[in-house]
Structure formats: structure tokens, C-alpha cells
Amino acid sequence: MATESDRKQLRTTVLKLLSLAGAMFVFAMWVMPPLYDLFCEVTGLNGKTKGQYTAVEAKVDTSRTVKVQFVSTNNEGMPWGFSPQDFSIQVHPGEAVVTNFIAHNPTEKIMVAQAIPSLIPHNATDYFHKTECFCFNQQTLAPGETAELGLQFIVDQELPKAVNTITLSYTLFDVTESAKEAVEQKQKELVQKRISTEQPATADSQTLTAR
Amino acid sequence: MAHGPAKGLSRWFYTTNHKDIGSMYLWFSFAMFFLGGIFALVIRAELFQPGLQIVEPGFFNQMTTMHGLVMVFGAVMPAFVGLANWMIPMMVGAPDMALPRMNNWSFWILPFAFAMLASTLFMEGGAPNFGWTFYAPLSTTYAPASVTFFIFAVHIMGASSIMGSINIIATILNMRAPGMTLMKMPLFVWTWLITAYLLIAVMPVLAGVVTMMLMDIHFGTSFFDAAGGGDPVLFQHVFWFFGHPEVYIMILPAFGVVSAIIPTFARKPLFGYSSMVYATASIAFLSFIVWAHHMFTVGMPLLGEVAFMYATMLIAVPTGVKVFNWVTTMWRGSMTFETPMLFSIAFVVLFTIGGFSGLMLAMAPADFQYHDTYFVVAHFHYVLVPGAIFSITAAVYYWLPKWTGHMYDETMGKVQFWTAFIGLNITFFPMHFSGLAGMPRRIPDYNPLWADWNMISSVGAFMFGAAQLLLLYNVVKTIRGGKKATAEVWEGSHGLEWTVASPAPYHTFTTPPEVK
């Protein structure tokens, strides 16, 4: 029968293999997703744009014009109206440009949306800076409300010469389900607004009587 | 020590005997093979003509999904584990597997996993309908409610595979008879050793990807949901990081089987034994760096496409070494064509055809045309059916006399071979053409342009199905009786498993044999 050393050897083999399996599970769950995000961020692949950018003093390169196109898409089942104000703008590298997207909530309920950007070509992602963007926050709209969602960006002077057109696309997702707080807050704001719009007469009379 | 099997049903529930467990794995996989086959025939019956005739599109999608899942995880993988259980201890001169109780457990959780998976067919909203590759968000946001049962079934299958693999590696590394050095091991043992490492490396990744799905569905995370900062493309990367080694998990043991059978019936030792070992190891290594060739069309940069394209083509080199060695083993051999040999030769020829269409798909620019068409379906059925299924069938015929002590009926074996061989080619060859003509995968109705190819494929599918009934008949008949088999069984057989009596006694090699 198996001797003590045989058993010990067997135990070592099994422990090694079990830890390999455990390590691979950890790798898949907790290493691959952040690694993937990091990889996309470093290479600019997958259209992931950078976060907020603080503008630095820079000269505007008027000798060059780059076309920036805007695309808006609604994720499946998202009922909002969503479109860019300008479908395409000619910009000079280094200049701060402001544009808007128009969003409209046609439903009867308060809804919260998140816009997810995607940018091509991928070698332009490092040179497209957003100083302000509605995509940094979730957007809450009351029933029937229309809003201008602002975007301010700078195309870097270092943009590779081969890039003449940049396309920035936003997909709008319905995140109402997971943003209960935002809905509640909007509800409160709406109630207050209704009070303040219904109140003026009474408020005035109250002040009058008080006086 | 020398006692026989327990009496009655408890023998099968409590057994820790590698031969009993091997037999249970094989019967289980045979049952799953018929279940998956029925799903396939529902698909082929619907596709016999354009238009919707037999099933609803939703149910059709459930059929394609369940066919893939059952065949991959229920039929092919357990069949190879069953063969490993039966043969590896006998091939390395060990009395049993290294961890017999875990062996019992790793088998007995499988029927529960598949009962759970199959039960989804009767649930409200139906079974999983997102394809066996279960891409998010189709399998998360848009999945039927039964997806949770699918996830847990996959977890159990993964646990079973990991335990089975640990057992196989522990047996091979620790329980070899004195003198059985690594480079003296039969190639079936070698290929399984490498496969078991692949399984341990990637089954946890599969468990990880379904766990992320579970969390996205029920716990509000957004691994694969762009709205929450996740990315559906990440799903494809993680899935195929598991998925590509998985396809080699289904083929490497087949290489081992064929490398055992061809020398026997060519009556020559295997040509290039050590190159076979190194080729297997190279294929296993390469399988980890080619996953993105399944996703050439997601929008990768040129550099990525080129790198994955060349890495994929590189696999043709070690595979070519293997095919060369099999052909050279047969060269000037004194060949006879018993059923296992016929299946093995068909394996070499048809697997090579599947390999060539694989090379065509590996070309990134051409892949944009082939992607998600029937050309892909033709390719992977050409590597999996004559690859995995034919080699398992060959193995069953080859070792059946050793298992049962009876010779199978050679004429019936040949009838089965030719029915299966012709049926297979009629089914899958036309799919190359319908695919090149643009027919997409996973559709219940199609343009009449592809009607002829589909009708031919459907006829072949039913023929191939009938051939499997013949296999069942042959196996049962051999178990019940037949000509007594000798210990060697085959004139040219070679290896420790042929030194024990036929049928193999319940306990073999309780004292280790001497290997010179």
C-alpha cells in the first residue's frame, strides 16, 4: 500500500493543482477585467475616451482644420429623443469648442440616463480632451422635459497628421432602475417647483398680511 | 483486498473503482450524445426547407444553444474522461486512480448539472437561447429567466472537470509503475496529462465568466454592461480565453487515441514519438495566445488582427507534424482495416480537412466574409465530429474487447463506420458551400438560395443519427456475448493494458508491473 512519502507527494500535487485552479479563477474575475480596462485606456482601443481634462494654456493652430462629427444612438428600449445640435464641426487644434446635445424625455415618468462615449479613430483618443461633458454624470429628466447637454472639448495640437476626421459617438442608456436617489431628488425638486409656481399669489398675500 | 464489485445498485453509487466510474462516464456521455443528437435533428428537420415548418424561431434558438452545450460539456468531455478513467491506470500500471473518492464525486455531480440544464427546457420563458457561446448582453440583459440555472449548471460541470483533471494528473505523476518514465508513457496518457493541465487552467476562467454574468444579472454589477462602465467585448475576450483552449481539450485526447490505434493496425511502432509529445505541448501552449481569432470582426486594430492571425496559423505547424507522423506510421506498414482503424484513418483525413478550413478562417481579411456563416459551422463540425466523435468511437471499438471480454461483430462495426462516414460528409460538406454563399448561423428560416444545400445536409444528418443507433446496438450486443477475446485482443497491440486478461479483472496491477 501507499507509503507515507507517497501520500505526502500526492498531497503536494493536489495542493499545487488546486491553487492553480484557484489562481485562474481569481485571474478571470479580478485581474482580467481591470487589465482589459487598463489596456484599452493605454492604447486608446475600443473608443474609450479619457476622463475630465483641465485645459492648459496652448496656442491655437489655425493652419489646420479637423472635422469632428457627432453621432447619437439610443440603446434598445430607451425612449428619449437624443441628437447632437451640430452633426459636424470644423475645429482648429488647441481651440476650446462648445457644443450641445439635445435630450428630451417624452415619457410620463422621471428617467435617468447615462451616455457612454466611443471615439474613432483609436489613435485620436489620446488627443481628444473633454473639459466638460454631460457623459461625466447621469442625466435626470422630468416627464416631458427637454435639456441641452453641454460638451466642451479641445483637440490637441499634437493630433497625428493623418487624422482629419474624428467621430465621437454617444449611446444613451436607461439607468433609471439603478438610480433611485436621482429620481427621488428630481421628485423633490419638482414638488418644490410646483409649490413655488403655485405659491406666488398666496406667498405675496401672506407677505402682505404679515406686513 | 481482492474483492469483487458490490451487489446491486449501490455498486454504482458508492463505487471508487476506476473501471466502474469510467463505464459510468462513458454511458452518461453516450446518453448526452443522443440527447444532443435529438436537438441537432430538430434543427436539421426545421432547416430541411426554407420557411418555418416544425418549430417556432424561439425554440429553434434554444435547440442550437442546447445542442452545443450538451455536445461539448455532456458528450465529448465526459467521454474522454471516461476513457481516461478506464485506460490511464491500466496504461501506467497503477492499481486505481490516485483519488478514488473524489473520482466518484466528480462523476456523480454531472447528472445533476445536466438534469438542471435540461430542465430549463420546461421553464417559463424557455431554455437558454443565446447560443453555446452565450455572448453578453444577449445572455445577461436579454436572457430568459432560466439563465441562472444555466450558470449554476456550468459551475457544477466546471467543478467536475477540475476534480477529474486533478485526479488524472495526480495519477500520472505519482502512480506510474517502476520503470515507466515520462517518455515511455503511451501517447494517450501524454495527451491527457496536457489536456488536464489545460482544463485546470481554463475551467476556472469559464466559472469566472459565468459568475460575472450572475453578478450582472442579480447583483447590480456591470462587468458587461456599457451603461455602468462595463464592456460587452470584455465578455468575448474572457469567454474565448477559456473557449480556445477548450477546443483543444476536446481534440488532444483524440490525438492520443489515434496514436494508439494506428500503430496497432499498421503493425509498426508510432513514428516520431517524442515529436508527438512536443507537438502536443506546443499546441497546448499556442491555444492560450490565439483566442481573439474568434472575434476578428469586433473592431480590433490592424496590429491585433495580424498578431492573432499569424499565431493561429502557427498552430498548423505542430498539427502538421502530427498528421505527418500518423501517415508515416502507416507508410509501408502491414495494414489491416478493422473498425477502429477505419475510424482512425477517417479521423486523419477529415480532421485535416477541418484543419484546412480552419486556416482559411484564420486569415483575418477573409474571415470578415466567413464570420458567423455556415462555413464556420462546417469547419468546427469537421474538426469535432470526425475529430472527437470518431476518435471516441474508434476507442470504444478498440478497447471494447478488453472491457467486455468479447469481440464485437466486425461486419456490424464496418456497417456503422460507413453509414457514419457517408452521413457525416453529406451533412457537413454542403455547409461549406451554403456558408460561402452567405448563409448565417443560428437562423430557423433562410433564403431559398440555400435550399438545396440544406436539404442535402438534413438528409445526411438523419443518416448520421441512424449510424449512432447502430453503435448502441453493437456495444450492447458485445456486452451480452460474442467471440471470447484474448488478452492481447489485437495482433499488433502493444502496452500494459494488453498484458491483463480480457475482460480486465475488477482490480488490476495491485502489485506494480516491471517496465523495462
Q: Using only C-alpha atoms, what is the Rg of chain B? A: 22
The SS3 of residue B130 is: coil
Pairing of strands A165-174, A66-74: parallel
Nearest CA in chain A to B215: A29
Nearest CA in chain B to A177: B220
Q: What is the pLDDT of residue A176?
A: 87
A148-181 pLDDT, tens digit each = 998 999 998 888 888 899 999 998 988 888 888 8
| Residue range B130-139: mean pLDDT, rounded | 94
* pLDDT surpassing 90 at residue B504: yes
* pLDDT surpassing 70 at residue B2: no
Residues of chain A neighbouring B229 (CB-CB closer than 8 A): 116
* pLDDT surpassing 70 at residue B147: yes
User: Are B488 and B505 spatial neighbours (Cβ–Cβ below 8 Å)?
Assistant: no
| Residue range B36-47: mean pLDDT, rounded | 97
Asked if residue A204 belongs to a domain, the reply is no
- CATH at A78: 2.60.370.10
* Helix, strand, coil abundance in chain B, percent, nearest 5: 70, 0, 30
* pLDDT surpassing 80 at residue A41: no
Distance CA B194, CA B198 (A): 6
| Residues with Cβ within 8 Å of residue A115, at least 6 apart in sequence | A101, A134, A135, A139, A149, A170, A171, A172, A173
* Helix, strand, coil abundance in chain A, percent, nearest 5: 40, 30, 30
Query: How would you list the strands of the sheet with A128-133, edge to edge?
Result: A81-84, A96-104, A146-155, A128-133
| Residue range A92-121: mean pLDDT, rounded | 90
Residues of chain B neighbouring A75 (CB-CB closer than 8 A): 226-227
**Single pTM value for the model:** 0.87
Asked if residue A56 belongs to a domain, the reply is no
Distance CA B87, CA B172 (A): 11
Residues of B marked as catalytic: 67, 96, 132, 160-161, 244, 246, 248, 259, 293-294, 319, 322, 441
Residues of chain B neighbouring A40 (CB-CB closer than 8 A): 231
B200 and A13 within 8 Å at the Cβ level: the answer is no
Q: What is the pLDDT of residue A207?
A: 44
Q: What is the pLDDT of residue B179?
A: 92
| Residue range B219-242: mean pLDDT, rounded | 89
Residue B127 pairs in a beta bridge with none
A13 and B173 within 8 Å at the Cβ level: the answer is yes
Pairing of strands A96-104, A146-155: antiparallel
Q: A48-52, A178-182, B62-66, B161-165: which range is least confident on average?
A: A48-52
Distance CA A60, CA A159 (A): 13
Q: What is the pLDDT of residue A53?
A: 73
The question of ipTM being above 0.85 is answered as yes
A38 and A73 both lie in a single domain: no
Distance CA B294, CA A27 (A): 21
| Residues with Cβ within 8 Å of residue B315, at least 6 apart in sequence | B283, B286, B287, B290
Candidates A13, A17, A25; nearest CB to B207: A25
Residue-number span of the structural domain to which A23 is assigned:
10-42
Burial of B27 (0-12, 13-18, 19+ CB in 10 A): middle
Q: Smallest CA–CA separation between A153 and chain B, in Å?
A: 21
* pLDDT surpassing 50 at residue A211: no
Residues of chain A neighbouring B242 (CB-CB closer than 8 A): 28
Asked if residue A207 belongs to a domain, the reply is no
DSSP secondary structure string for all residues of A112-152: EEEEEEEEESGGGGGGEEEEEEGGGS-EEE-TT-EEEEEEE
B211 and A21 within 8 Å at the Cβ level: the answer is no
pLDDT above 70: percentage of residues in chain B:
99
Q: What is the pLDDT of residue A196?
A: 77
A124-141 pLDDT, tens digit each = 888 888 888 888 888 999
B240 has a chain A CB within 8 A of its CB: no
pLDDT above 90: percentage of residues in chain B:
93
Residues of chain A neighbouring B211 (CB-CB closer than 8 A): 29
A203 has a chain B CB within 8 A of its CB: no
C-alpha cell at B140: 445577461
C-alpha cell at B137: 448582453
Q: Smallest CA–CA separation between B381 and chain A, in Å?
A: 28
| Residues with Cβ within 8 Å of residue A26, at least 6 apart in sequence | none
A173 and B212 within 8 Å at the Cβ level: the answer is no
A21 and A75 both lie in a single domain: no
Q: What is the pLDDT of residue B217?
A: 94
Task: Give the CA angle between residues B366, B369, B374 to the nearest 5°.
Answer: 115
Distance CA B74, CA B154 (A): 11
A129 and A188 both lie in a single domain: yes
Q: What is the pLDDT of residue A2?
A: 61
B202 and A24 within 8 Å at the Cβ level: the answer is yes
Q: Where are the domains of chain B?
A: 22-224, 251-443+450-504
Q: How confident is the model at residue B435 (pLDDT cuts 50, 70, 90)?
A: very high
For domain B251-443+450-504, give the CATH number.
Answer: 1.20.210.10
Residues of chain B neighbouring A171 (CB-CB closer than 8 A): 226
Asked if residue A134 belongs to a domain, the reply is yes
A33 and A97 both lie in a single domain: no
* pLDDT surpassing 60 at residue A204: no
Residue identified by cell 475482460 is B503
Distance CA B158, CA B106 (A): 10
User: Are B367 and B297 spatial neighbours (Cβ–Cβ below 8 Å)?
Assistant: yes
Q: What is the pLDDT of residue B290?
A: 96
A89 and A156 both lie in a single domain: yes
Distance CA B338, CA B364 (A): 41
Alpha helices in B120-186 (DSSP H): 147-174
C-alpha cell at B367: 474571415
B338-365 pLDDT, tens digit each = 999 999 999 999 999 999 999 999 999 9
Nearest CA in chain B to A38: B234
The average confidence (pLDDT) of chain A is: 84
Fold for domain B22-224? Cytochrome C Oxidase; Chain A (1.20.210)
A87 and A24 both lie in a single domain: no
Q: What is the pLDDT of residue B62?
A: 96
Q: Smallest CA–CA separation between A20 and chain B, in Å?
A: 7
Asked if residue A82 belongs to a domain, the reply is yes
B226 and A28 within 8 Å at the Cβ level: the answer is no
Q: What is the pLDDT of residue A50?
A: 67
- Residues 136-175, chain A, touching B (beta carbon < 8 A): 171, 173-175
A101 and A189 both lie in a single domain: yes
* pLDDT surpassing 80 at residue B39: yes
Q: What is the pLDDT of residue B86?
A: 96
The average confidence (pLDDT) of chain B is: 95
A79 and A179 both lie in a single domain: yes
Q: What is the pLDDT of residue B105?
A: 96
Q: What is the pLDDT of residue B4?
A: 73
B296-344 pLDDT, tens digit each = 998 888 889 999 999 999 999 999 999 999 999 999 999 999 999 999 9
A20 has a chain B CB within 8 A of its CB: yes
B307 has a chain A CB within 8 A of its CB: no
Domain total for chain A? 2
User: Which of A8, A16, A25 is the mutation pick for testing B, counting most B CBs within 10 A?
Assistant: A25
DSSP secondary structure string for all residues of B189-256: HHHHHHHHHHHHHHHHHHHHHHHHHHHHHHS---SS-GGGT--HHHHHHHHHHHHHHHHHHTTHHHHH
Q: What is the pLDDT of residue B443?
A: 95
C-alpha cell at A86: 451640430
User: Are A122 and A45 spatial neighbours (Cβ–Cβ below 8 Å)?
Assistant: yes
A16 and A119 both lie in a single domain: no
Residue A55 CA, chain-centre distance (Å), reads 19
CA atoms within 13 A on the CB side of B149: 22
B226 and A116 within 8 Å at the Cβ level: the answer is yes
- Residues 128-187, chain B, touching A (beta carbon < 8 A): 162, 165-166, 169-170, 173-174
Candidates A10, A24, A173; nearest CB to B98: A10
User: Are B510 and B95 spatial neighbours (Cβ–Cβ below 8 Å)?
Assistant: yes
| Residue range B246-255: mean pLDDT, rounded | 96
Asked if residue A48 belongs to a domain, the reply is no
User: Are B294 and B370 spatial neighbours (Cβ–Cβ below 8 Å)?
Assistant: no
B238 has a chain A CB within 8 A of its CB: yes
Q: How confident is the model at residue A203 (pLDDT cuts 50, 70, 90)?
A: very low
A38 and A88 both lie in a single domain: no
B170 and A10 within 8 Å at the Cβ level: the answer is yes
Asked if residue A59 belongs to a domain, the reply is no
Distance CA B283, CA B359 (A): 15
The SS3 of residue A79 is: coil
B211 and A29 within 8 Å at the Cβ level: the answer is yes
The SS3 of residue A67 is: strand
| Residue range B371-400: mean pLDDT, rounded | 97
Q: Smallest CA–CA separation between A81 and chain B, in Å?
A: 17
Asked if residue A126 belongs to a domain, the reply is yes
In this complex, how many residue pairs, one in chain A and one in chain B, have their CB atoms less than 8 Å apart?
Answer: 91
| Residues with Cβ within 8 Å of residue B432, at least 6 apart in sequence | B357, B374, B375, B378
Candidates B162, B233, B300; nearest CB to A21: B162
Candidates A14, A36, A171; nearest CB to B237: A36
